[in-house]
Each structure stands twice: as structure tokens, then as C-alpha cells.
Structure 1
Amino acid sequence: MKNILIKPFMVLIGTLLFTSLFSQEIPDSLKEKLSGKSSSEQITYLNKLANEKLKSAPATAYSLSKASYQIAVSSGNKNAELNTLLLCGKSARLSGKASEGIDYLNKAISMLTSANHTQGLASAYNELGLAYKETGKNNDAISAFENSFKNYETLKDKKNQLLIKNNIGFIYNKSGQYQKAIETFTKIVELAESLNDKKEIATAQNQLGVAYASYGNTKEALVHFNKAKEIATAQNLSSLLASINKNIENLQNNIAGKENSKTTYEEEASKQQEEYVSSLQNEYMSVKQENLKSIEEIEKLSFENQAKELKLHVLQGEYEKQLLENELKEQNLKLLESENNLNKVELTRKQETLVYQRRILITVIIALLALLILVVFIYRLYVAKKKTLKIVREQKNEIQKQRDIIQESIDYARHIQQAIIPKPALIQEQIPGFFTFLRPRDVVSGDFYWFHNENNKTIISAIDCTGHGVAGGLMSMIANSLLNKIIKENKVFDPEKVLEILNNNIVETLAQSGDYFDSGMDISVCMIDKNTEQIHIALAGHRCLVIRNNELQEFDGSDDAIGGMIPKMNLTYQRHSIPMEKGLSLFMYSDGFPDQDGMSTGKKLGTKAFTEMIIKLSNEDPTIIPEKLEKNLTEWMAGKKQVDDILVTGFRI
């Protein structure tokens, strides 16, 4: 009864907090969807919606993540605060507000540093470097990338070390620091060779060639382009090979087009030579001036030179006389030229008349040719259209065949998934009051339930994997396999231990790192111990409803889901225990039913309305509860499209 009072109180606090903080920052439609939810549920919903909008509408994602961050700060949820800080940083950069994203990322880095979270720091510094790069702060970007590189060195993650060094090399090359770019890409080649990754080696050699080409050392550039080309050809990397060939072609064109210009490399190589030539020239001028002074002194002392000067004056007079005669001849020539010009004008007029007539003739011929070309063009269009229609029909048939093959594969996946999900009749042999309602959104479901009975201990689990359709189906297969290993093979029956081991296995299996992609699941695990007549429950991202004597008791799970956006190893989960009592009803469910939109209201059903529905159904015969749930869902949707997989399962003692 205590929990019944606490939960509405927490929801009320979350609602008042949300209303006061964000009354002017988000649309009314979103406020209505968040109304009645706790702060934790609001954060989860806003983060999920922001992630979906990151690529298609980054500005919207940024607004949503900021709203989520404010709720996390106000509610004191540090884990959620860290998640939303990282989301704010990334969405700000993608929406063109990288400078704002830098503040969020620095706060996240401070929290990750306090937690000594090396993996998170590596990825966060990389995102910070990208943000600085967007704002043009190259030195800060390089510093952030270097910090990311150091953390990946600590993690011994050479693949991501290579990625970070690439970011640094691109900045050096773009900012004209070619020698540093060459040093960086040389280290990248060494990293790729240590990984023995042929594609990365070829890519790094190609980038090193680009750096040498930018620097102007064409000889070294060709050496590295040819090394990259040799590897790409051997490995059949067609796309990379095309890029390398294009770089070689551009380099050769630049060499041909800049024969008389100097590159950065050539300028630096000839700088000392120019200084040497300049010093020689200064020395020569100094010697020349000394020689001139010696000649002047000799002229002042020489009598013969004075006689020569008088002779020059006589020659000058004869020269001026000759100039006058030449001027008279030039005037006569100008008169003759004027007469010739008049004749030329008349000739030009006649020629222009002939040119005009010729132009008219050419215009008529061109018009006729254009008409002929137009007719040919229209005919060719007609032929091409017929061919295109034929190709389209063939492609349509091919696409239909491929769709049929894909549909057959999906149907086969559905049969496999149905085969691993236990039949209700099998579970009812151990728990007569067991019931389940599973309605996938697509052919294959990300929601499923799991069952095992051994030594008077019966385990039932409700699992909601990330995504739906094929992606959700793949995650459900992984979850089913790991539960079989943990419980059936390793004999772990305590629900909280099952969740702890499952989380570690999911993190290791999916090798999650760096990008914080939300791959995981929400899960409820219930163990009925007939030896002690106790029911033990552990929850991750789920809620569980228990009804006995017409009183509701709610159990909230840990905010840390299995796997998730920032995977963590060695998490612990709480166990809830209640005694087995006759008439007790227990309900486990995914978020699909409460999150379903209704046609009449356009809003989600919501947790409150769903809980009231469950309370009403708790007194019904367990065998008809699935039918009642189906009916209630159909009436609520009223033709609205199903938005997620739906699972409701449980039992009555």
C-alpha cells in the first residue's frame, strides 16, 4: 500500500518539475505525452526520441536532449545527466551549434574523469575534437584528439587509435602544416601494418601520398600512391583503387600545369640558393661601383678624352639634320596612307555586304540542320523511352523476386523465433494460472518471454530488446542463447545474478565501444521457489505489478538496462521478494502497450491507464486475460498503426 502512494507522488513531482522547467521550450503535443510520467521516464522518452532525430532532424534532437538534460540535473540523476550531456554535445555539433556542444562535452568529460571511465573518455574526447574542428579551432581539436588517442592507447584499441590519428592528419593537411601531416600519416601506416589490415594500410599510404603531394614533394607522393595502388589491386578494393588513380591523375596534371611555378617543397629547397645568389649580386655591384669611380678619375685627367667629346658634338649636328629629312619623308608617306585608307573603306563596305549575304545563307542552312537534328533527337528519345520502359519492367520483376526472397527469409526467421519461445501449455503444467499476450509490430519481434523449470524452481522472464522487426529479432536470439547458458548450463537461478551476468555477456558479445549505440534490452526475471514458497523478482528498465487482496504493489527496476547506450561492466541489480499467496497475481510487461497511440485521442495510453486496466483484469480467469488484452488494445487503437512490439505476461497463484 505504501508503494501505491509513493509512485503517484513521484509522478506528480516529475510533472511539476517538467512543467516549471520547460513550459516554453517544447511543443504542447510533447508536453502531453510526458504528462504523468516520472522524471526517469521523461528522460528515457526524450533521449530515445532525440536519438531517432539525430540524423534526420539534428536541431530537434538538440532541443530534446537539452530538455532531457535539465530534467536529469534537477532530479539529481547523475547517470542520466552524463548520458544527456554526451547527447547534447553530439546533437549540437550535427545541428551546426558546435560551440555550444563544446560546453556540454567538457562537463561530460569532467564527470567521466571523476569516474575514471577510460572508454567513455576516449569517445568523449573524440567528439570534442570533432566539435572544435567544426568551429575552426584546429589547435584545440588536435589537443582533444590527442587525449582521445592516449585513452585508446590505455585500452590497447589500435583500431580506434588509427581513426583518431586520421582526424589529426586531416587537420594538419587542411591547415597547410604539411610536414606534421606527413609525420602523422607515417605513424598511421605503422599502426595499420601492426594490425595487418590490408585495406587500412592501402588507405593510409594513399593519405600519405596526398600529404606529400600537398607539400609539393611529387616524387615521394608517387611512391606512396603506387604502394597504395599495389595493395588495393591485390585486395580487389575497387572504390579505393578508383580514388588512388584519381589522385595520381590529379598529381600528374598539376605537374604538367605548374612547370613554371614552385611548390612549397621547391620553395623551401631553393631558399638557401636564392640567399647565396643575392650575396653574390651585392658583391658584384660593389665591385662595379669601384670600377666606375676609377673611370671618372681617369676622364678628369685625360686630354684625349676631351678631344673625343668635341668630335661627338659635330656628329650630333649631322644626326639632327638627318632627322629633319626623315620627318619630311614620313609626312609624304602619311598622305599616301590616307589615300589607301579611303580605298580600304570602300573595299570593306563591299566585303561587309558579301559577309551579310553569306550570314543569311548560313543561318538558313543552320536552321534546316537544327530542324533535322530535332527530328532525329525526338526519334531517339522515343526509342530510348521504349528501351527504358522495358528495363523498368525487368527491374520491377527483379525487385519483386528479391522482395519475395526477403519475405521468405523473414517468414523463416519468424518460424525460428516461434520455435524458441515456449508454448503456454508447457508453462501451465508448472504454473496453471500462467498467461501471455505477445503481439509483434512486424513479422519478427524484439519482445519475447523465456521459461525454465528445475529443482522446484520456475523462472519466467519478459524481455524487450532494442528495436523491432529483424533487428529486434536478432537481439532476441542473442538474449535467448545467453539465458540458456546462464540458467540451464551454469545453474544460476537468483534473478539479480542472472541480470548481472547477462549484462556482462551482452557487453562482451556485442563488443560495444566508442559510439554509444543503444544496443541492449529491458528485462524482468521472476523466480518461483516452491521449496521456500517465495517469489523473487529482479528488473532492469522494467516495472512489475503485483496484486493481492485487491491491493496493488509496484516494483520499479534499475535505470541501468542490459547493455545500453553507455555499456558498463559489473553492474548490480536489486532483488524483490514476496511470499506465495493464493490469489496473488503478477504482471510483467514491455513498454509497447503503454506507449501505443490511440486513434480517438492521438495520445499514448500511458502508464496510469495501463495500470488501471491490469487491476481490472486481475480478477478475471487467467485463460481469458490475453483475449481481454487483445480486445482492449484493438478498441484503443481504433485502426491506428501499432508503434512497437507488445508483451504482457504473468500468472496467478
Structure 2
Amino acid sequence: MNSTEFHRNILLVLILLTFSLSYSQAQSDTVRIGEMLQRAEVLRTTNPDSAIGLAIQALNIIDGSDNKELMVRVEHTLGNCYYSRNDFELALSHLKKSLQLATEEGRKFWVAMNLNRIGNVYQLKSDYGSALQAYTEALNINRSIDNKSQLARTLVNIGTVYSITGSYKEAIENMLKALETYEQAKDYEGIAWASLSISRLFSRIDLYEKALQYAESSLTHYRQLSNINGVTLAKTELANIYYHLGMYPKAKEMATDVLATNQQNQNIYGQAANHLLLGIINFELGDYTSAKSNLLTSLELKRQVNDSIDLAKLSRYLGEVNLKSGNVAAGLESLEQAMRIAQRQRVLTDQRDIFLSLSQAYRLRGDYRRSLDYFTRYSAVKDSINASQIARMEMQYDFDKREREQELISRQREAIQQAKLERQRMLTLFISIALLLAVALAGVIFYFYRNKKKINALLVAQNQEILRQKEEIEAQKEEIESQRDLAERQRDQIAGQQKQITDSIRYASRIQSAVMPRTDTLATFLTDYFIYFQPKNIVSGDFFWVTRLNDGRIAIAVADCTGHGVPGAFMSILGITLLKEIIAYQQVNTAGDLLDKLRQMVIAALNQSGQVQDSHDGMDMGLLVVDAKGRKAEYAGAYMPLLVSRNSELPEVSAGVQPETANGWSIYEIKGDKMPVGYHLAGERPFTTHRFDLLSNDTFYLMSDGYTDQFGGALNQKLMMVNFKKNLLGLQTLSLSRQNEELQKQLIEFQGTQKQVDDILVMGFRL
């Protein structure tokens, strides 16, 4: 080998060695960067600063490299980390760099991932139009590459934007599609996330029983997956639902438990949300010191991580706590700050609540002009939200309809599969029998062919006749089966439609029962009571209501709304809602004053002005307001009397009221005004307040006209109030529970075979 060849070989070896070392270094850097990015994704929710440091290190290592795919991942992870720290501008900068690189490289998976996260950033910045645009682009890309898990996650994001902006029908459609897609992909963590998102949607629109169902489902899945963060999120949602259902001890217990978990995991965002909920619960329980401590802690935690979620609500409750503590100036400052945040974030429900709080605050300060101005704004926003509540009811109807359709489709698929299996079995059996017959027939033909051609010919003819008859019979059988199947389908369709309607009304009955006082609530106000409640058509236009007023007095009401069935039920829910709003936000002086305020709100809610095309709906009502300590009572009625039972030897209830007396007992009828709670052609006179003293063992009866207007008896006439009072006089020595049994028994005997003509509600009670 000469000198030139030797040097050339040495040079070739050096080049190969350098290439090998460079390739090994590149491979080592790729593995190292991948591990750093995985570590950053794990840390970003609990320690975003450390996660950002790791991602920046990875970026410095890969800087100048031509590995575009790895650069896409690094920029995406860095954007994710800034997103977790709520540094939205830096997050958008890195995510858009990753998006541009992924687009240039044709990496559709990463294009969709970046668009999804960019949508998250815009959503937290309250730029919902940009968020929806990014999500929609991600959705189309995920569909094109058939990435079911990311497709479902994008659908959840789109549904969340629609939920925030009040488009509840579109929100539930997208979230249900997401849940179905996760189920098809058997992505159980995705199923848990979609269920939690649907629960939050139902909480947003006050359907807390539905929300509870999906939150419990989410918690079950997260526990099965041992996902601690998911379990914490689901428990947080459950605590919020329990609070809105009025289950304050249970809500407080769960929120405290979740707070301990978030403190252990150093989850600042979770701690801030938990302290906010605990502050609201303590405010409702009247513990204003603890409430203020929780709210200030939540505010400080949110400032640490630049978290603006529910910041308007937090500031409003700080203002309410200061108002309750007598610090009106500090309360106004917090409420004004809350309004600025709510208007910036464009959250109508927060604006509505803050306007009302500002109105009350300025009234306490004596600035009645500004108080009226804020109350006018509150009414305008409330009317806007009331319009969206109709959309909520439509969304719930569409949701129930979709669930029924999905159930019907599942049953149809199962029925089709069963029919296919049955046809296959029958076909196999038929072919087997036909083959056996053919073999036997061939043997007979072969045997007789050699022996008796004449007999063989006869057998062939007979066989043809048998086949003809068989085909005729099978044709008749198919026709009979077709007619039978048609009749069964029509029968099942009618039965299904009837069941759907009945089920919907029964579900509405559950909702109506939920908004009326529960037995444990009644027991806190009344020493003894009975309620005879019998709707005419499952749901009722009658309702009863018991609460404690702000001055400590007890209010007991029975109402009979226009109509019965579903229309009456809607009116009853409106009545209860307005009563709660009056008690919560207005000063009530007398029973008549409360009915006056309720009448004004009903007329406003139904837009009644006396025009022909206006709604003429309203309600009859009897309202008793009791000062148990002072032994004083007030009564006001709208077409509804109050009956008071008292021992005849005791003083009269009220001068000028002549009682019905028998067996040592007297029943006094205090009549209500002859005008409804609603628009009245005769004008709006103030309701009369009747006052009287309470005595021990006084028994009170409030009732709609459904009992006394019932037809029956030998002459098929109405029962009438005079006969009802006579019946009551004969029951005064019995306990209230026995009185209830006897009243029901007497009505059944009087009614006989006649149909019930109206909703029935009779309430008897002692204080």
C-alpha cells in the first residue's frame, strides 16, 4: 500500500467516526429532551415555574437543530407550562410557534393539539369567539385523522364555550357527542372528564339533580382509574352541587376534605376554589367571620397564580360580608370592584347579583337615587337571564328526548341483531332438513328407477305437488307474520309515546316537589301539621310554602295558581321563585305588604298590562305571618280564607268574625280580598292585613278551592265551604294526622264515581 492510499483510508475512518459520534449525540439529546418534556408536563399543574425551567432547558439544547418534529413538541410543552401559570401572552407566543412548525411539517396531530390549547387560552381570556374558532379548526383536523380521544376532548371544549355564553342546547349536544365518542373509544379517563363537564353544565343552569348524577359517575370512574387529581375535581363539583341543593353541612364537609387534599398536593388553584366555596357556605350559615377569612384567603391565592375564575363572585361576597358586618363603605368598594370584573368577563349572572347587592348597599347608605338606578339595571339583566332560562328548559327537553332516542336506537339494534340470529338459525335448520330430504328422496328415486319407472314417475309428480303446496303455505305464513309484526310495531309505538309523555310529566312532578319545603324544613317551623296534597294530573298548580323572614317571623302560605297540570306547575314554580326573591332581597313589613310585592313581580314577569293579548294568569293565595315570641299573627288573602279553630271558651279570634260552633269548638273564617295575585281589571288595591293574637292550641287551616269545589253526593253538587267547616268541627278532638285521614276518607265517600275536578291542597298546622 503506497502513502497516498494509506492517508485516504485514514481520512475515511475519521469521517465515519465523526458521523457516528454526531449521530449518537443526537440520539442521546432526543431521549434526554423527551424525558425533560415528560417531567415538565407532570410538574406544570403543581409547580409551573419548575416545569417552565425544564422546558426552557430543552429548548436551549435543541436550538439550531433541524429536528422540526422535536421542536414542535418543545414549543408546545413550553406553551402548556405558561398556560398553567396563567401567563397567557407567552403561552400564545410559544403555542403559535409550535402550530406554525407543525403546519409546515404536515403534522396534523400536533396542529390539532396546538389549536385546542390556543382555544383554552382564549377561553380563559374571555375571548370566546377566538376560542370557538380555534376549537372548530381542531375538530375538523381530528375528524380527518380519526383521533377519537382528541376529537371528544375538542367537543367538550366547544360545549364549554357554548355553556359559558348561554347557548345551552349547543353545549349539551357537543358534550353528549363527546361522551359517546369516549365510550366508543373505551377511553375511561375521557368518559370521567366528559361526565364532569356535563355535570358543570347542568349546575350552571340550576339542574342540580342531573348535575349530581353525572358528578357521581365521574367520581366513580376517576376512583377506578386511581386518578387523584380527577377525584379532587369531581369532589369539588359535588361540594358545589350539595351547596346549591341546600345541603350545607355535607357541602362544607366535602369542600374541607378537598381543601386538605389540594394543600397536600400544593394545588394553589384548587385551594383558591375551595376557600371561595367554604366562604360562600359560611356566609349562608351566618358565620361572617369565617366567611371573610375564607374569602380573603381565596383572593390572596388567586393573586399568587393570576387566577381570574369566579373573581367577580368572590369580590361580591366580600362586599356582602362587609355589609352584614356594618362596614358599608368597604362593602361598596368590593362590590364596585366586583362589577368591573364581571363586566370585563361578560358574565351576566354575576352582573345581575352584583347590581342587586349595590342597590341594597346604597339603600343602606341612604342614597335612594343610586339604589333605584342599580335596581333598574338588575331588573334588566334579570329579564335577559329569564329569557335564557326558557332556553334551558328547551335544552332539558331536548336532552331528555335525546336520551329516549338513544335508548330506542339501542333497543332497535338489539332487536335487529336478535332477528338476524334467528333468521340464520332458521335458515341453517331449513337447509339441513332440505339436504336430508333430498338425500332420502334421491335414494328412493334411484331404488324405484331400476324397479318400477311408473311408480317413480308418480313419486316425482307427488313431490312437485308437495313443493307447490309448501311454497304456498310459506307465502301465506310470511304474509301473516308481516301483518302481525306491523300491528305489534304500531302498538309498541303508541305505548312508547304515551310512556314518554307520562315520564316527562312525572319528572316535572319531582322538580316541583323539590322546590317546595321538605318535611324536615316544615318540622323546624311547625309543632304539628298535615298536608293533603293531591294533584289532578300528576303535577299541580297548587303549592305550599314556609320560611323565616329576615326579622325572625314565620311565613306560611298556600297558593292556587291559574290552571292545573303542566301550565299550573309552571306558575307554581314562578310563584315560589318570586317569594324567595322577595324574602331574600326586600323588606317585608306586613302580610299584605308581601302580597302587594308578589303581585307587582307576577305582573312584571308575565308582562301584564290589561291588553287583550296579554296573559291573564295569576294565583289565589293565603298568607299567614306569625310572631311566635310576641304571640301575634297577621293574615292577608287573595280570594282565599284562613280558618282558625279555637276552644269556644277562649276569646274570639277577631272582632266581627262570626264563628261556626259545635261540640265546644269554634271555627273562625278570616276572608281574603276579592282580587288575585296578578293583574285585576278593578285595579290594584293594597291587600288587607288582618291582625289577631295567638293562643295555645290554636289550629290553622289554609286550602285551595279544589276540595270544596269537588262534585259528588246524591245530587252531584259541590261540597262547598260551609260543609267543609262542619266536617272540621267534628274532627277537632283528633290529632292532625287523624284529621288528614278523615278528610281524605270523607272526600272519597262524597266524590263517589265522579272525577276529580281540580288540584287539591289542604294544610292544617299548629305553631
* TM-score of the pair, normalised by structure 1: 0.39
Higher relative contact order by CA 8 Å / sep ≥ 6: 1 or 2?
1
* TM-score of the pair, normalised by structure 2: 0.33
